[in-house]
Amino acid sequence: MRGGWKVWLPLALFLGFVGLVALQLFRPAAREVESAMIGKPVPQFALRPALADMPGLATADLADGKPRLLNIWASWCVPCAAEAPQLEALRKQGVDIVGVAIRDRPEDVTAFLGRYGNPYTRVGADDLSEVQMAIGSSGVPETFVVDGKGVIRYQHIGDIRPEHVPMLIEKLKEAGA
């Protein structure tokens, strides 16, 4: 036989490539991203107020013994508007929610909260996304459950949908609420 096994080598490589592609296509995708910050204290920061009539946010505000949600958001973020009713529902159930407004102008923050409601007790302005990056957030919106000692217990990536509200309340209870 002329050429021997070398004749079949291109076909074997092609079939191997097809097999790898098929394996990746049918493997279930990971839906949960485990943050490296889970179980760690919120990094040190002190943000100026994002609104004139509301306090800013600092690390010390997150270690006062009360678990709360820390929401990373922006007025220019469409999913942030979509999650606004769920944040309001959480606030009405007694959840303390603090916010970090990312790369926003005070007038835009005011307009957004005027249009969609203000569930926050504090909103800090993170003009350069420094706190966002330090806390392990890569986009908006993201929400963290922080226990009363200022330790991150859970990270929710993306907008909060109605089906997430009970889960977040449960995570807050686990964090000591």
pLDDT in tens, 98-111: 999 999 999 999 99
Residue 3: the pLDDT is: 66
**CATH number of the domain at 40-176, out of 3.40.50.20, 3.40.50.970, 3.40.50.80, 3.40.30.10?**
3.40.30.10
DSSP letter at 94 equals T
With a threshold of 0.75, does the pTM exceed it?
yes
Distance, in Å, from the CA atom of 42 to the CA atom of 59, rounded to the nearest integer, reads 7
What is the domain partition of the chain in residue ranges? 40-176
Distance, in Å, from the CA atom of 98 to the CA atom of 145, rounded to the nearest integer, reads 11
Task: Find how far residue 59's CA is from the centre of its chain.
Answer: 17
